[in-house]
Amino acid sequence: MKLPLAAIAASLAYLIVAPVFAQTSPAPGAAEPVPATKRVACLASTQSLKGQDKRDQLQLCLAQARVDCLKQAIDQKMVGEARRSAIKTCVGTDGPAQQ
């Protein structure tokens, strides 16, 4: 009875770990596709706030998201228009949020 349980456990572990190893990393300098969730996350995190508090927290959150995206672009050695485009895509907005 121990053998089938061990086989099931090994199969489950393989199913969980295999997709992680199957992911390929992008070529150096290639823009990694990032879903535009940073802006959405900022909007969601400020949903319970109102008025000036909401605007302030949203601005802070989006500024931090932009800094995080800028660091990612710098790590990928992006410059010029490629960097600007990558940051816009990463943050998920073309400018400050309108709330």
pLDDT of residue 34: 42
pLDDT digits (tens, 9 = 90+) for 37-54: 688 999 999 999 999 999
**Which parts of the chain have pLDDT scores under 70?**
1-37, 93-99
Q: Quote the CA–CA distance of 87 and 99 in Å, as a whole number.
A: 21
What is the predicted pLDDT for the residue at 3?
52
pTM, full prediction = 0.56
Distance CA 84, CA 99 (A): 23
Predicted local confidence at residue 51, as pLDDT: 95
Burial 25-34 (b: 16+ CB within 10 A, else e): eeeeeebeee
Q: What angle do CA 49, 41, 88 make, to 5 degrees?
A: 120
